[in-house]
A and B are shown apart, each in its own frame.
With several copies, the nearest count.
Chain A
């Protein structure tokens, strides 16, 4: 089900890759439609819907009032009637105004109905900091969503995965939360990670939800991460390769389901684990990874694990503070060095 690498590719940024995937599904299935704030003429604040209004018209690309409970709830109702909405929550930070629809309804209706009602929808939302947007506009919060059962949580790190996971999410009969990082959209108005543009397979490109990728194999230490941090980890790993440190980088791609096997397989080989997570450190992703290892076999760890995450502080505005909180390459490097005893 995952990407066939033989397919021809074209180079797109992540935003464009998402849009293309959405457009292809809209072509394929008239039940697919998009709604959210500024998804129409504006094309999505983070360019996740650019051009869709022109292509599909206002009946299938709906700008909404600033009523997240109202319109996400409407998407849920529409999904229970067989439509396949893609609804955007502009920043994940706004989940607090509409979480009841998300976790008590979107995520539970299928279960409460004993499987009789399906809720096939995608809730897409922008995550991440690094550009001084402050404590209410810079969070990742994937741990918050992953803790609550009934929704898949997908977190791509690059254009090809964004496209392939978006396609998978739209075709999934379950609610899927699709969290894209602003820093890899390739936005013209934000510093771009160089990997925010990359090859995207043409044709029917689907990335299976639940399978991690290993963009860099290695033998000395396992770096488990996701989203923008994948690129920081890869940059650091490349740099340290010159010093004879061979770091493996695992890109989780989704955390519900999470590819526990891939993590355990890698750590069993390397014995060293660094978790890099742009979400808050405690009670989140890094803990869950640690627990799955500790449940499996704590002796695969040759040293205490390292967590490079946001240290339980709201994201500060001022750049020096924000970058002290974020999982920067410098912090990742320090953790790898510590793991490898250098």
Chain B
């Protein structure tokens, strides 16, 4: 498949993954910068829980390559990769993560609550509860006669939550234009999928709803791209929802500060990083060269650092405004 894929698409996938990783590394740096020597979750320029998506770039890059900002994406507590790949304004997003007035939510939301009407992006910190609203966005798109689609993301741990089941049934029943993504990174915090999920494969659960389900192995970005292409196309053409599970990788801890003492597979993890792997393939196949890699990184770095600088320069919210925005 990769042979037949347009080189530009492959370069874009790579650039997207690099951008995401660069972003997560920068957030990681800023998050920990002023939490030393003793880690304090509530301290520093970026406080609160921080769930980073390093290792899961192939999912967001492969899926969002098929979307425009007219399409909707609802992400999870681990939302950055999808927000970036879907084109959420990086500066406003970063300002939100820093809790500033120029943030997407004027500092009210934070890293698990990023809402961007311009790109129909949202997320939720509650497991699987982003699925039902995504079905509703799809319903709105369908009622209006558009070919827009909604993408809903969740983890493999979340696939055992009731909302998952209810939404898949509803979307299939009403033939809604949704693509359901399950990011299987093998872990739900400290619980391995074998201790949470009675079957090996969530894609197989799609059959329970009469919708197509595929599982993409090996965190393979181009396979994600292909599967998502089909599913998005189906949704746009009135063919209803699909489920795609991607076997991906949690490169870092569940959240920052997670020592991962429970994780037996820890040693092998760095070797599975999808970015160097993909880079090597593209280099070998001559799709990119070293200069392109360097340019990709440099561009990503500039964009990301600009966003961080923007966030830092933005004002903190005025405590006197604490009661604002409860009601419209």
Whether chain A touches chain B in the assembled complex (some CB pair under 8 Å)? yes
A contact residues vs B (CB 8 Å cutoff): 33, 37-38, 40-42, 45, 59, 63-83, 85, 93-94, 96-97, 100-101, 104-105, 108-118, 120, 130-137, 149-150, 152, 173-174, 188-191, 311-314, 316-321, 323-325
Further pairs besides A70-B167, A116-B105, A134-B48: 16, Cβ < 8 Å: A33-B143, A41-B262, A63-B191, A68-B161, A69-B132, A70-B163, A70-B169, A76-B133, A77-B134, A104-B124, A111-B108, A132-B47, A134-B111, A136-B113, A316-B107, A321-B322
Residue of A nearest to B132 (CB): A73
Q: For residue B158, which residues in chain A have a CB less than 8 angstroms away from its CB?
A: 66
- Report yes or no: A136 in contact with B157, Cβ–Cβ below 8 A: no
Q: How close is B104's CB to chain A, nearest CB, in angstroms? A: 7
- Report yes or no: A67 in contact with B107, Cβ–Cβ below 8 A: no
B contact residues vs A (CB 8 Å cutoff): 39-43, 47-49, 72, 74, 96, 99-100, 103-113, 115-117, 120, 122, 124-129, 131-141, 143, 150, 157-158, 160-163, 166-167, 169-170, 173, 188-191, 195-197, 257, 261-262, 316-328
- Report yes or no: A65 in contact with B191, Cβ–Cβ below 8 A: yes
- Report yes or no: B136 in contact with A74, Cβ–Cβ below 8 A: yes
Q: For residue B43, which residues in chain A have a CB less than 8 angstroms away from its CB?
A: 191
Q: For residue A93, which residues in chain B have a CB less than 8 angstroms away from its CB?
A: 126
Q: For residue A317, which residues in chain B have a CB less than 8 angstroms away from its CB?
A: 48, 96, 99, 105, 107-111, 113
- Report yes or no: B105 in contact with A114, Cβ–Cβ below 8 A: yes
In-complex Cβ contact of A132 among B104, B110, B126, B173 (8 A)? B110
- Report yes or no: B189 in contact with A37, Cβ–Cβ below 8 A: yes
Residue of B nearest to A72 (CB): B132
C-alpha gap A1/B49 in the complex (Å): 40
Residue of A nearest to B118 (CB): A116
Q: How close is B62's CB to chain A, nearest CB, in angstroms? A: 23
Q: How close is A116's CB to chain B, nearest CB, in angstroms? A: 6
Q: How close is B165's CB to chain A, nearest CB, in angstroms? A: 8
- Report yes or no: A73 in contact with B319, Cβ–Cβ below 8 A: no
C-alpha gap A257/B35 in the complex (Å): 41
- Report yes or no: B122 in contact with A40, Cβ–Cβ below 8 A: no
- Report yes or no: A191 in contact with B42, Cβ–Cβ below 8 A: yes
C-alpha gap A149/B160 in the complex (Å): 29
- Report yes or no: A105 in contact with B107, Cβ–Cβ below 8 A: no
C-alpha gap A85/B133 in the complex (Å): 12
Q: How close is A334's CB to chain B, nearest CB, in angstroms? A: 14
In-complex Cβ contact of A113 among B48, B72, B108, B125 (8 A)? B108
Do A80 and B261 form a contact, CB below 8 Å, given A40-B190, A72-B132?
A: no
Q: For residue B111, which residues in chain A have a CB less than 8 angstroms away from its CB?
A: 134, 317
- Report yes or no: A318 in contact with B316, Cβ–Cβ below 8 A: yes
Residue of A nearest to B321 (CB): A321
- Report yes or no: A190 in contact with B41, Cβ–Cβ below 8 A: yes
C-alpha gap A265/B257 in the complex (Å): 46
Can you list 6 pairs linking A and B with CB atoms under 8 Å apart? A65-B191, A109-B115, A135-B108, A311-B322, A318-B316, A318-B317
Q: For residue A45, which residues in chain B have a CB less than 8 angstroms away from its CB?
A: 189
In-complex Cβ contact of B190 among A63, A111, A133 (8 A)? A63
- Report yes or no: B163 in contact with A78, Cβ–Cβ below 8 A: no
In-complex Cβ contact of B107 among A73, A78, A318 (8 A)? A318
- Report yes or no: A133 in contact with B113, Cβ–Cβ below 8 A: no
Q: For residue B162, which residues in chain A have a CB less than 8 angstroms away from its CB?
A: 67, 69-70, 97
Q: How close is A38's CB to chain B, nearest CB, in angstroms? A: 5
C-alpha gap A336/B49 in the complex (Å): 34
Residue of B nearest to A53 (CB): B262
C-alpha gap A59/B170 in the complex (Å): 15
In-complex Cβ contact of B166 among A70, A76, A321 (8 A)? A70
- Report yes or no: B170 in contact with A67, Cβ–Cβ below 8 A: yes
- Report yes or no: B134 in contact with A113, Cβ–Cβ below 8 A: no
Q: Which of B74, B108, B126 has the most CB of A within 10 A?
A: B108
Q: How close is A301's CB to chain B, nearest CB, in angstroms? A: 27
Q: For residue B131, which residues in chain A have a CB less than 8 angstroms away from its CB?
A: 73
In-complex Cβ contact of B42 among A41, A69, A74, A132 (8 A)? A132
- Report yes or no: A319 in contact with B99, Cβ–Cβ below 8 A: yes
C-alpha gap A152/B122 in the complex (Å): 23
- Report yes or no: A65 in contact with B40, Cβ–Cβ below 8 A: no
Residue of A nearest to B43 (CB): A191
Complex A-B, nearest 6 residue pairs according to Cβ-Cβ distance, in ascending order: A73-B132, A77-B136, A131-B42, A317-B110, A114-B106, A70-B166
Q: For residue A316, which residues in chain B have a CB less than 8 angstroms away from its CB?
A: 107-108, 317, 322
